[in-house]
Amino acid sequence: MNDEQNVRQLVLDMLVAEGHGNDSATLQVALAEGGLSLSSLELVRLLVSLEERLGISLDDASIMNARFESVDDIVNLVTQSA
Amino acid sequence: MSDVPTSWYNVLPDLGFELPPDLPSPRADTTGLKLQIPPTLLRQELDRRRLLPVPPEVLQRYRQWRPTPLRRALAFEHALGTNCRLYYKYEGGNLSGSHKLNTAIAQAFYYQRVGATCLTVGTGAGQWGTAVAAACAMFGMRCRVYMVRSSYEAKPGRRTLMQALGASVIPSPSQRTEVGRLALRESPQTGGSLSIALAEALADTGEPGVHFCTGSGETYSLLHQTVAGLEAQEQMAALADPPDVVVGSLGGGSNFGGLALPFLGTMLRGGREVRCVSVEPSACPKLTRGRYAYDFTDASGLTPLQKMYTLGHTFSPPAMHAGGLRYHATAKLISALYHHKLIEAAAYPQRAVFASGLSFARCEGIVPAPESAHAVHGAAVEALAADRRNQRRSILIGVSGHGMFDMAAYQSYLDTTMTDATLSEQDIARSLARLPEQPATRSLDSAPSR
């Protein structure tokens, strides 16, 4: 259910919904060029939303130790926790 | 009062508006994000439950000195000649000597849970540094404190206490960090500022397990501090004399918020009316003369931007003796409350503040910290103003800490070398001119709610 492709699309859709881009396709390109450019609070808000949508619980230490440079980093964290 | 509150009070669901979002720093490396703050603390900022549970490990520590006393200041009332009833909530009766231990313990607990072995902090008057040093000692962690140089030199006793707790204490600006070296090149004799100390503490996190412990003005810090206000609510209810006015000093915002938010929340939910009055120094008047704008939270210019009442992150206040109130801005939560006209603000010069502080000490047997003396003075002004209107008010004062490490400050008042620094419009305009570029107007800028 939480396969990489689905999670990636979910993350992109959530970022668009939060006003980080017009659509997920252009957002993916923008993120690749400029990084996620999220504040810490926005990142955790996104992770909390993912927890609720996917019915998972992300480990605080894993979040704290990760470096988030792209959507893939979020996808990896989520799929490894699922 | 039977026991310590087992939950903190979260005002966010009662506000009726959202806080303005933090923005990534326009100058920071945006190609990657690594959280510096334990996710649980950030989750608390996103939580919309009214009561958030205090972890058992934190509650166990709270019970070492809490509940803190709430007393009526009868002798001080008599000295003022007021018909108002003055109560004070005293938060100085713990190892750190101030309210700051309430959140330091919680933060140290959460940092350790994500693998931290050492916390770095910036401190002005030394209260936050002492509190984190004490919390680190409790949880077996190391601690490095960057202490504003003027305080480091004026308060050797507080420095010694932090060292006795096992912390390393470094006067800021220092040669250990690029921010410190830059500040010393620009002004070799500088006494430092809290924003520089914070920036140095943030920079000194290169080793594994070392984390910067932000400080006491974050929304989660105010949440933890509500343990004081919740206790006070119950204590004053037991006296059948709930406050008409709550008065607290304002630095980063945690002391004032911790005491005032539970009372304010009750009012916001349709309960008893209360006026919450913050008191700041005339020499650092962020609410009364600052601007509501996005700004950096320290002098590095690399932090995320928060929307706050600010005097500008480059603002360095003139000489004054309440180190804990020297911060250039105040918490975004307190700032939003002021913007929405839910709280009030007053500013007073330090000689009047110390006069009230000494009077309180002689009457009540507690030397208030210079920060707390601002609240004492503000409450005295409130009481006398109510007398002139023939109103017999119940007034609650936040005495956030003791002043036993502040004898040099009290001495300067007694020997009349203390002065009231003046702050011109040009002084403020100069630092406000260096605010970062402001983003497009956001929804919070709509008309205040009341």
pLDDT at A25 > cutoff 80? no
Asked if residue B141 and residue B74 are part of one domain, the reply reads no
The two three-digit tokens of residue A57, written as one number: 């619980």
Asked if residue B146 and residue B167 are part of one domain, the reply reads yes
Helix B407-414 to helix B350-364 angle, to the nearest 10 degrees?
110
Asked if residue B226 and residue B175 are part of one domain, the reply reads no
* Residue B42 within a domain: no
Phi, psi of B10 (to 5 degrees): -105, 110
pLDDT of residue B444: 42
**Alpha carbon distance B215, B169 (integer Å):** 16
DSSP states of B336-379 as a string?
Answer: HHHHTTSSEEEEE-HHHHHHHHHHHHHHHS--B-HHHHHHHHHH
Q: Which of B35, B93, B23 is nearest to B62 (CA)?
A: B93
pLDDT at A32 > cutoff 60? no
ipTM, 2 dp: 0.85
Question: With an 8 Å Cβ cutoff, are A61 and B115 in contact?
Answer: yes
**Alpha carbon distance A19, A16 (integer Å):** 5
Cis before B173? omega within 30: yes
Chain A environment of B34 (Cβ under 8 Å): 66-68
Helix B254-268 to helix B332-339 angle, to the nearest 10 degrees?
50
* Residue B23 within a domain: no
Asked if residue B261 and residue B202 are part of one domain, the reply reads no
Residue type, A29: V
Say whether residue A61 is in contact with chain B using an 8 A CB cutoff: yes
Closest chain A residue by Cα to residue B29: A37
Mutate which of A40, A74, A78 to test chain B, going by most B C-beta atoms within 10 A? Answer: A40
* Residue B164 within a domain: yes
Closest chain A residue by Cα to residue B112: A61
Distance between B60 CA and the closest CA of chain A, angstroms:
22
Asked if residue B285 and residue B200 are part of one domain, the reply reads no
pLDDT of residue B447: 40
Mutate which of A38, A41, A74 to test chain B, going by most B C-beta atoms within 10 A? Answer: A41
pLDDT of residue B81: 98
Count structural domains, chain B: 2
* Residue B11 within a domain: no
pLDDT of residue B32: 67
Distance between A59 CA and the closest CA of chain B, angstroms:
9
pLDDT of residue B271: 98
Question: With an 8 Å Cβ cutoff, are A39 and B40 in contact?
Answer: no
* Residue B207 within a domain: yes
Mutate which of B42, B119, B294, B332 to test chain A, going by most A C-beta atoms within 10 A? Answer: B42
Coil vs helix vs strand at B245: strand
**Alpha carbon distance B102, B108 (integer Å):** 11
The two three-digit tokens of residue A59, written as one number: 């480990």
Question: With an 8 Å Cβ cutoff, are B31 and A35 in contact?
Answer: yes
pLDDT of residue A69: 79
Asked if residue B282 and residue B419 are part of one domain, the reply reads yes
Q: Which of B336, B327, B229 is nearest to B284 (CA)?
A: B327
The two three-digit tokens of residue B41, written as one number: 């603390």
Task: Give the end of a domain, one of B181, B215, B249.
Answer: B215
Mean pLDDT by 10 residues, chain B (450 residues): 88 96 73 83 95 98 97 98 98 95 97 96 90 97 95 90 97 95 91 86 91 87 98 98 98 96 98 98 96 88 88 86 84 98 97 98 98 98 98 98 93 96 92 91 44
- What band does A35 get if pLDDT is binned at 50, 70 and 90? low
**Alpha carbon distance B233, B242 (integer Å):** 7
| Partner residue opposite A44 with nearest CB, options B23, B46, B304 | B46
Question: With an 8 Å Cβ cutoff, are B24 and A37 in contact?
Answer: yes
Which residues share a beta bridge with B329? Answer: B310
pLDDT at A23 > cutoff 80? no
Asked if residue B413 and residue B284 are part of one domain, the reply reads yes
Asked if residue B225 and residue B89 are part of one domain, the reply reads yes
3-state percent breakdown (helix, strand, coil) of chain A, nearest 5 = 70, 0, 30
Asked if residue B180 and residue B70 are part of one domain, the reply reads no
Closest chain B residue by Cα to residue A41: B42
* Residue B323 within a domain: yes
**Alpha carbon distance B82, B389 (integer Å):** 12
Range(s) of the domain holding residue B331: 66-97+219-440
The two three-digit tokens of residue B410, written as one number: 């009290």
Say whether residue B189 is in contact with chain A using an 8 A CB cutoff: no
Q: Is the separation of the CB atoms in A38 and A67 below 8 Å?
A: no
For B184, which DSSP code?
H
User: How do residues A52-73 score in pLDDT, each as one tens digit?
Assistant: 999 999 999 999 888 887 788 8
Pairing type for strands B51-53 and B70-72 reads unpaired
Task: Give the end of a domain, one of B193, B215, B237.
Answer: B215
Distance between B119 CA and the closest CA of chain A, angstroms:
15
Asked if residue B370 and residue B267 are part of one domain, the reply reads yes
Chain B environment of A47 (Cβ under 8 Å): 39
Chain B environment of A44 (Cβ under 8 Å): 35, 39, 42-43, 46
Asked if residue B192 and residue B142 are part of one domain, the reply reads yes
pLDDT of residue A71: 82
pLDDT at A30 > cutoff 70? no
Which residues share a beta bridge with B123? Answer: B147
Asked if residue B89 and residue B106 are part of one domain, the reply reads no
Closest chain A residue by Cα to residue B19: A41
Which domains does chain A carry?
4-81 (1.10.1200)
Task: Give the end of a domain, one of B192, B215, B238.
Answer: B215
* Residue B22 within a domain: no
**Alpha carbon distance B319, B300 (integer Å):** 22
Give the count of beta carbons closer than 10 Å to the beta carbon of residue A21.
Answer: 17
Q: Which of B18, B42, B36 is nearest to B307 (CA)?
A: B18
Write the CATH number for B117: 3.40.50.1100
Chain A environment of B31 (Cβ under 8 Å): 34-35, 69
Q: Which of B159, B113, B99 is nearest to B133 (CA)?
A: B159
Question: With an 8 Å Cβ cutoff, are A68 and B34 in contact?
Answer: yes
* Residue B35 within a domain: no
Closest chain A residue by Cα to residue B113: A61
